[in-house]
Structure 1
Amino acid sequence: MTGEFSSTWLTLREPADAAARAVELVEALRLPAGGELVIRDLGCGTGSMGRWLAPRLPGPQRWVLQDRDPALLAHAAAHLPAAAADGSPVTVETAEGDVTALTVEDLAGTSLVTCSALLDLFTTDEVAALAEVCVASGTPALFTLSVVGEVTFEPEDPLDAEVAAAFNAHQRRAVGDRRLLGPEAVGAAAEAFAKAGATVGVRPSPWRLGPGEAQLTAEWLRGWVGAAAEQRPDLRLDAYLEGRIEAAEAGRLQVTVGHQDLLAQKD
């Protein structure tokens, strides 16, 4: 599986992620009562999902952090909360490896599988395989902050729609023999989990970026426009990017970036 993310970017986006995630899906989780919860965090990055979710769940927890990057794993393991919602202990272990290769055996004894901003990097077949493994093992899945291809600006610019379309096409690109799902990831996952026999709930989890998030907005714009320019070099987006960043840093730009959260679990 491809996809490399800097710890600087992951740290910068963490407050916006925390504000956006759909808390009602956490409240709808059906987790085993009593005993230790075992939570496997796929593509954990710096551990932001654990920092957000562990304090919201009661009871002792063991987080299994999985990522391909050993430096990110080390950082995440060192920065998870020590206590659950009721003060119970939270412990951590790490697993380096490809998150698309999970088996039913890997999930034996697992209470919950989770990830954040990851599904768009999967293919249709990989999402289907993950759904089958989770449902076959009886493991609920909480997947947050998957992009859905919807971005709105205030004020608008005539190029916004073309840039968004180019970015979305870039998200669906082929990487070797893999065709990424990009904005279709949540729909594909919902279909795959339902087909496997799970009940699926989907909720919006948009970023709402204003003057207080100017640094994040500027960095997001660089990545968003950069991907669009890679897909459509004919657009010549240097002036567009410069103007958008200037507006963000001056506090004159509001951006809503669409995401969705998904919860799948068996009745």
Structure 2
Amino acid sequence: MLATAPPAFVPTDYEWLRLRFEADRRSRARGLLARVQEHVAGRPRIKVLDLGAGAGGNLLFLAPQLPVTDQEWVLVDRDGALLARVAACCAALGGDYPPTVVALDRVPACCAALGGDYPSSAPGHLRVGERAVRYRALVGDFVTDARVFAERWDLVVANAVFDLLPERTVAHFFEGVRSTFAESCPPLYLTIHLDTGLTFDPESPEDEPVRALFHAHMRRPQAFGRALGPQSARALARLAARTGFTVHAEPSPWRLGPDDARMLHAKLDFIENAVTEMLREAGRGALPLAFGIDALARWVAARRAQVERGELRITVGHRDLWLTPHPRALAN
């Protein structure tokens, strides 16, 4: 199992993904991971569809965890630049999806980190212990383009993807999965999705307005609607149950402490930028708030000083979900 992301996982432009790889790895709900492993155990081979795959963090974590020696993965993301970081990308993807240029100079490092190799004549091959993993990438939108579900899958996975989508889009996704697969629907393993909580230790009187504004920023009106944001995990569970899935959910919080200084600073960056944007909107009359820019600056400075002294801990609430189809409901 990888403890940290391999050096070639992402360039510095995507440093946040590198930082969160470790936080995600140690936060995943072990009980649900055991359910996934039990679901695939004993099979000679499996096909896995990874939605919103980004730079391949789910693949890097899960492939070594699944007790199957022959694995085929397909990674889907709208960001071709991120997919180009994944050794799984093929030079020609086939179908109607555009080809993706593979950053071949990055491939060997990723494979070496997994203990595998990458034959230059055969794209997307890894060996992880006894596991042979073949993988390819598709540039596209899994919500609006049903072609990504054209094949049959043994498992569909997604990590920290649905937080950014509005409820109507997620509802459309589940309806699409239901209508496409019917009784052959695979289970879905959705990990590290937000579940409201954001706590700071030690506490401060300014935590509540900061937290409220940060969550409001995630839920602010945008062109595509209001993202689920901190309600993501609970909305996923509700919408999945409504469309015929049995829902198993367990907490998977990030618990960031003195050993996570870079991650803590990055999280404070996100909070500061989001809250600043909301306060500027308030200054234009959109939000009547007593908490202001100066108070935010003092709060951030105090929190950064606590990071440097090894005193700050931040907990971010998440839930993992294991969604298994109810055949009778899905057939209706």
Q: TM-score, length-normalised on structure 1? A: 0.90
Specify the alignment match of 1:123 in structure 2.
166
Structure 2 counterpart SS, 1:259: strand
The aligned counterpart of 2:226 is 179
What is the match of residue 238 of structure 1?
297
Shift of 1:171: 0.9
Q: Which runs of 5+ in 2 are unaligned?
A: 1-11, 88-106, 115-125, 281-290, 327-332
Distance 2:176 2:147 in 1: 5
Query: Is contact 1:194-1:200 (8 Å) kept?
Result: yes
2:62 matched to 1:64? no
Compared CA separation, residues 97 and 6, structure 1 to 2 (3 A): farther
Residues 104 and 200 of structure 1, relative CA distance in 2, 3 Å threshold: farther
The one-letter code sitting in structure 2 at the alignment partner of 1:157 is S
- Within a 5 Å distance, the mapping from 1:88-103 to structure 2 comes to 88-103=131-146
Structure 1 CA distance for aligned equivalents of residues 62 and 147 of structure 2: 24
Structure 1 CA distance for aligned equivalents of residues 22 and 256 of structure 2 = 11
Amino acid at match of 1:119: F
**Structure 1 letter corresponding to 2:25:** A
Report percent identity of matched pairs: 34
Match of 2:24 in 1: 17
Root mean square deviation, CA, Å: 2.1
Partner SS, residue 175 of structure 1:
coil
Any unmatched runs of 5+ in structure 1? none
SS of alignment partner, residue 252 of structure 1: coil
Residue in 1 that maps onto 2:121: none
* 1:44 paired to 2:53: yes
State the structure with more CA Rg.
2
Q: Distance in 1 between matches of 2:54 and 2:144?
A: 17
The alignment status of 1:224 with 2:265, answered yes or no, reads no
Between 56-65 and 103-112, report the one with greater CA deviation: 103-112
2:158 and 2:23 map into 1 onto residues whose CA distance is 16
C-alpha change, 1:139 and 1:32, in structure 2 (3 Å) is farther
Q: Indicate if the aligned counterparts of 1:21 and 1:261 stay in contact, CA closer than 8 A.
A: yes
Contact 1:135 1:198 in 2 (8 A): no
The size of the alignment, in residue pairs, is 262
Aligned 8 A contact 2:40 2:67 in 1: no
Q: Is the contact made by 2:64 and 2:131 (CA closer than 8 Å) also made in structure 1?
A: no
The one-letter code matched in structure 2 to 1:12 is L
Contact 1:147 1:259 in 2 (8 A): yes
Contact kept? 1:146, 1:259, Cα under 8 Å = yes
